[in-house]
Amino acid sequence: MTAASPNSPTDIADILAFYASAGVDEALEDAPVNRFAEAAPRPVERTPAPVASPREDRAPERLATSSGLDASKVPDAPARTMPSAIPDEAQAALARQMAASASTLEELRQHMAAFDGCNLKATAKNLVFADGNPEAAVMLVGEAPGRDEDIEGLPFVGRSGRLLDRMLAAIGLDRTSVYIANVIPWRPPGNRTPTPHETEICRPFIERQIELVNPKVLINLGGPSAKTLLNTSEGILRLRGNWRVHTTASGTAIPAMPTLHPAYLLRTPAHKKLAWRDFLEVKAKLRSLS
């Protein structure tokens, strides 16, 4: 069975939608390539086998002798390959060390830009560090950048960002009076959910970022942010609307309000009223702290 080349606009639109959902958002060639066209088979290039050491040459013979088999019928042992590198506890420890050594937000940004221990950095275009006013009384933390954020290097600049701007404006705030960041500073490919290991690798950086900003109020946008920074396993619909506490490494207790992520609200508009109540709670808290 062979795949047919798409001809109708509907078929092409379906394929493009599939590519977009899989994270394929850029062309790698200047001209389109017909992958359905049959290509002539390429000749197999043979490379001379490496010269084995005498010990390696005798390995099949020793195996055959010990098992009673004909040495000429014993296949050569397959070549060993090194396992691919993945983040490990050493990288998490390095992240904690680098984060703790940053005395300013600019130093923290530089440390994060130099850190290569998270696999997400290899596929992201930009480090998405933060946006807004680092002297603000309110800090908002989401989960991870999306496509638009990855391109611009700023958090919450796509559709969910525009909704967040309207939510802030409803309580008299804007990007000059808040500070915005993410738990994960690099976009996961295809906007997939970050793995628990990736989250733990990046956790020291966002915790230090919160500590350096030292806001009066922390807003956790979405379940992943709330679970990571509030050390809880409860779902966001149970968490939202209830004040929690984020405690920094230096022991500072910061009131935290978990609420629904703007991207979730775009998919579930009926729950915008819940987020509105949460933001009213934030407004009241700021008045009581001023």
User: Residue 141 above 60 pLDDT?
Assistant: yes
Cα 38 to Cα 28: distance, rounded to the nearest angstrom: 20
pLDDT higher than threshold 50 for residue 229:
yes
pLDDT digits (tens, 9 = 90+) for 192-225: 999 999 999 999 999 999 999 999 999 999 999 9
User: Does the pLDDT at position 268 exceed 60?
Assistant: yes
Lowest mean pLDDT among 24-28, 32-36, 81-85, 94-98: 81-85
Specify the pLDDT at position 63.
41
Tell whether the model's pLDDT for residue 10 goes beyond 60.
yes
Q: Is the pLDDT of residue 277 over 90?
A: yes
pLDDT of residue 253: 97
Whether the predicted pLDDT of 3 surpasses 90: no
- Sign of the alpha-carbon torsion through 279, 284, 286, 289: negative
Band of the pLDDT at 26, cuts 50, 70, 90? low
Residue with the bigger pLDDT between 55 and 242: it is 242
Over 66-97, what HEC string results? HHCCCHHHCCCCCCCCCCCCCCCHHHHHHHHH
Confidence of residue 87 (pLDDT cuts 50, 70, 90): very low
Count of H-run helices and E-run strands, the chain: 13, 6
User: What pLDDT sits at residue 13?
Assistant: 72
Which two three-digit tokens encode residue 205?
A: 């950086």
Q: Indicate whether 174 pLDDT > 60.
A: yes
Q: How confident is the model at residue 32 (pLDDT cuts 50, 70, 90)?
A: low
| Residue from 166, 169, 171, 172 nearest 277 by CA | 171
Task: Give pLDDT, residue 12.
Answer: 73
Q: Which residues pair with 140 in a beta bridge?
A: 180, 219
DSSP element (H, E) containing 220: strand 217-221
In contact, 115 and 126? CB cutoff 8 Å: no
Mean confidence (pLDDT) of the chain:
83
Nearest to 128 by CA among 101, 104, 107, 148: 148
Read off the DSSP letter of residue 186: S
Mean pLDDT of 176-186: 98
Q: What does the pLDDT look like over 34-52, one tens digit per residue?
A: 656 655 555 555 555 555 4
- Give the count of beta carbons closer than 10 Å to the beta carbon of residue 196: 9
Q: Sort residue 272 into left (φ over 0), alpha (ψ -120 to 50) or beta.
A: alpha
